Chains A and B, each alone.
Chain A
Amino acid sequence: MLRKYLIYVPVFTVLLVSCTETSAVPETELIQDKPLFYQPDNFPMPVYDMSKNPVTEAGFELGKKIFYDGKLSRDGTISCAECHAQSYAFTHHGHTLSHGIDNRIGTRNAPPIQNTAFMRSFFWDGGVFDLDLFPIAPITNPVEMDEELGNVLKKLRADPAYTARFKEAYGSEEITTERFLKALSQFMNALISDNSKYDKYIRKETGGEMSADELEGLALFKQKCSSCHQEPLFSDEKFHNNGLDISFRDIDYGRYNITGERQDRYTFKTPSLRNIAFTAPYMHDGRFNTLEDVLNHYQNDMSYSLNLDPVFFYGDNKRGIEMTDDEKSKIILFLKTLSDKEFITDKRFAAPN
């Protein structure tokens, strides 16, 4: 572990140095006195190899331009931001299942884009394990952007605004698969959310003062939820069956679609709970509208299905998480301390003019 840490020390030194050296930072960026990528004190080391694709000012700006551009879709109407809006922690607010091109409906609820550099896998079923290759999925999915990756590159090559940006970011105008995807990764990796009340409490910073109920909620959370929603990212990045009624929608086998292993049927990746108050509705198919609905499910609505995670059995063959209504409301109070308003209002991440 120490050795791993030491390897990163020079990398971060380089990153920090290079960031302080960028004197040509536009004024809006100076509002936030922080580099585009940094290591939050209370986070684990990144999973993403930052040395192969460090976040640069020009790369980030290019990635942001791509992220907010409808050119990624077949008919020019759908950008990444369609389903990943900053004000809702980069989710599709109010949509149980995400809507794409021609108003076609997807099969899952769009998760937030945050702290991507620290994540091992992506999608509810973990089918993608390399952030760089992630964007190909929504671009080519017929119910999302319904476009071919090669076509997107062609459109960007024909646009002088893009060739100029690629030159700024990479030194030449050439637009390749690698450059395109790595610019998007730079933008996504800069989307660090580490300034919730909870973070400030952990780091003993001002603004981190928790109320007695919130602290009680945190203690209850640690007892009842954190075996899967592990701090500080609030996910163990593993796949679990949390007792959702499988007949609620068309059957979604979840992780089984990737591994083909029977024990993975109906299991989904533990989502992070950071910014959870902004990202309703909940679960892989958005079936619950409120945090109360979610906790009611865990308290007493859990259905038995194949592979129900053993963590949910307690007492005399009961299913769910044992908690009182008072405990539930305190846990919800705690969950709201995971909201990072700076993240959802940070102008650097907003759509370019």
Chain B
Amino acid sequence: MKSKFNYLIISLLLIFFISSCEKTDEIKPGDKNSVFIEFDNRLGAEEIVLGTTKGTNSTSEDFTITRLNYFISNIKLMSATGETVSFPDQYSLVKESDTNSQVIELKDVPAGDYNHLMYTIGVDSIHSVSDVSLRTGVLDPAGYGDDNMYWSWNMGYIFFKMEGNSSKVNVNGSTKYELHIGGFGGKDAPTPNNIRNLELHMNQTATVRRDIAPDVHVIFDVAKVFDGTKKVSLVANPVIHNPKLGIDISENYAEAFMIDHVHLD
């Protein structure tokens, strides 16, 4: 009898908890919050320290990383039921040297349960050919200082830039390698296209509520730049400033992003 009473109390408590959970789950029209996408560049499992972290690719070439930048654009979130929220005008330049650049805030995301993240690595063709008046923020070619992300001679942005040193590389006595990947497909004539669109599935749901702004933690594994679907050798092409030579690399890095976890804050 006493145990039956206990069960009743537990059940009541459970109902209370569940219903209280449902209360915060309730979505009122117009509810919205931010979603933060955090890009965490790694070498395998290791955090990257620029100039220090050392890796070796499958062709036994050692390498360090001194620069690592890439453009993220056209971000979309999709819920399990297929509702999509797009951020077409938000262009971000993620730089390993700048912690602030590694977190992208998507503002005013309607409350919902999102489990797909889509984005482009690079700058879409429309913005690659747009009038200079629209090239502001991270798209301003005057904004890069000595870490240039714009090709003036073959008009377009450098979508992905990775530089470092390898003891196996020898370019006129220098051990420096430079992988500059760009090419949006051309305006008047077709040219190589290294725009890569990704769709990543989240194992946890990014729940957006009036009081919940989730943090989606994306890991980019630099090791896969060399060892993905394609095997990339630094000795074969230590300096890539050419859209066509960059195709293997862009195919590789398109497969190098994964969602590690989602925080619900």
Write the residues of chain A forming the contact surface with B, with a CB cutoff of 8 angstroms. Answer: 52, 120-121, 123, 126-130, 132-133, 136-137, 139-141, 148-150, 152-153, 177-178, 180-182, 257-261
Shortest beta-carbon distance, A266 to chain B, in Å? 16
User: Known: A133-B132, A133-B152. Is A257-B242 also a contact (CB below 8 A)?
Assistant: yes
Within the complex, which residue of B148, B155, B242 is in contact with A129, where a contact is CB–CB below 8 Å?
Answer: B155
* Interchain Cβ contacts under 8 Å between A and B, 20 examples: A52-B131, A52-B133, A120-B188, A127-B154, A128-B155, A129-B129, A132-B131, A133-B152, A136-B150, A136-B152, A141-B153, A148-B145, A148-B148, A177-B132, A257-B242, A259-B189, A259-B190, A259-B191, A260-B191, A260-B243
How far is B154's CA from A257's CA once the two chains are assembled, in angstroms?
A: 8
Q: Which residues of B contact A120 (CB under 8 A)?
A: 188
**Range for the number of chain B residues in contact with chain A:** 20 to 34
B263 at the A interface (CB under 8 A): no
Shortest beta-carbon distance, B150 to chain A, in Å? 7
Nearest 6 CB-CB pairings of A with B: A260-B244, A137-B152, A136-B152, A149-B142, A150-B142, A177-B142
Which chain B residue shows the least CB distance to A256? B244
B228 at the A interface (CB under 8 A): no
Per-position 1/0 for B236-257, Cβ under 8 A of A = 0000001110000000000000
B17 at the A interface (CB under 8 A): no
Q: Which residues of B contact A128 (CB under 8 A)?
A: 152-153, 155
User: Known: A123-B153, A150-B144, A150-B145. Is A132-B132 also a contact (CB below 8 A)?
Assistant: yes
Q: Which residues of A contact B55 (CB under 8 A)?
A: none
Majority secondary structure of chain A interface residues (helix, strand, loop or mixed):
helix
Per-position 1/0 for B161-184, Cβ under 8 A of A = 000000000000000000000000
User: Known: A177-B140, A182-B132, A259-B186. Is A140-B155 also a contact (CB below 8 A)?
Assistant: no
Write the residues of chain B forming the contact surface with A, with a CB cutoff of 8 angstroms. Answer: 129, 131-133, 135, 140-146, 148, 150, 152-155, 186-192, 242-244
| CB–CB A153/B142 < 8 A | yes
Which chain A residue shows the least CB distance to B191? A259
Q: Which residues of B contact A152 (CB under 8 A)?
A: 142
Shortest beta-carbon distance, B88 to chain A, in Å? 21
Q: Which residues of B contact A132 (CB under 8 A)?
A: 131-132
Q: Which of B131, B186, B187 has most A Cβ within 10 Å?
A: B131
Shortest beta-carbon distance, A186 to chain B, in Å? 13
How far is B189's CA from A113's CA once the two chains are assembled, in angstroms?
A: 23
How far is B150's CA from A139's CA once the two chains are assembled, in angstroms?
A: 13
How far is B191's CA from A128's CA once the two chains are assembled, in angstroms?
A: 13
| CB–CB A140/B152 < 8 A | yes
Q: Which residues of B contact A182 (CB under 8 A)?
A: 132
Q: Which residues of A contact B190 (CB under 8 A)?
A: 259, 261
How far is B141's CA from A126's CA once the two chains are assembled, in angstroms?
A: 19
| CB–CB B132/A137 < 8 A | no
How far is B186's CA from A261's CA once the two chains are assembled, in angstroms?
A: 12
| CB–CB B129/A178 < 8 A | no
Shortest beta-carbon distance, B169 to chain A, in Å? 20
| CB–CB A127/B153 < 8 A | yes
Shortest beta-carbon distance, A294 to chain B, in Å? 26
Which chain B residue shows the least CB distance to A128? B155
Q: Which residues of B contact A153 (CB under 8 A)?
A: 142
| CB–CB B141/A136 < 8 A | yes
Within the complex, which residue of B135, B154, B188 is in contact with A178, where a contact is CB–CB below 8 Å?
Answer: B135
Q: Which residues of A contact B188 (CB under 8 A)?
A: 120-121, 126, 129
How far is B155's CA from A140's CA once the two chains are assembled, in angstroms?
A: 13
New A-B pairs, 10, CB < 8 Å, besides A130-B131, A258-B191, A260-B242: A127-B153, A127-B155, A128-B152, A129-B188, A130-B129, A133-B141, A139-B152, A140-B148, A178-B135, A258-B189
Q: Which of B135, B145, B154, B244 has most A Cβ within 10 Å?
A: B154
How far is B148's CA from A306's CA once the two chains are assembled, in angstroms?
A: 35
How far is B238's CA from A145's CA once the two chains are assembled, in angstroms?
A: 26
| CB–CB A133/B155 < 8 A | yes
Which chain A residue shows the least CB distance to B151? A127
| CB–CB A258/B154 < 8 A | yes
Shortest beta-carbon distance, B171 to chain A, in Å? 15
How far is B135's CA from A140's CA once the two chains are assembled, in angstroms?
A: 18
Q: Which of A123, A137, A178 has most B Cβ within 10 Å?
A: A178
Within the complex, which residue of A123, A149, A258 is in contact with B141, where a contact is CB–CB below 8 Å?
Answer: A149
| CB–CB B133/A178 < 8 A | yes
Q: Which residues of A contact B148 (CB under 8 A)?
A: 140, 148
Q: Which of A128, A149, A152, A261 has most B Cβ within 10 Å?
A: A149
Which chain B residue shows the least CB distance to A154? B142
Q: Which residues of B contact A133 (CB under 8 A)?
A: 132, 141, 152, 155
How far is B140's CA from A136's CA once the two chains are assembled, in angstroms?
A: 12
User: Known: A129-B187, A153-B142, A259-B191. Is A181-B132 also a contact (CB below 8 A)?
Assistant: yes
Shortest beta-carbon distance, A115 to chain B, in Å? 18
Shortest beta-carbon distance, A251 to chain B, in Å? 15
Which chain A residue shows the least CB distance to B146? A148
Which chain B residue shows the least CB distance to A185? B132
How far is B175's CA from A279's CA once the two chains are assembled, in angstroms?
A: 42
| CB–CB A137/B153 < 8 A | yes
Q: Which residues of B contact A261 (CB under 8 A)?
A: 190
Which chain A residue shows the least CB distance to B245? A260
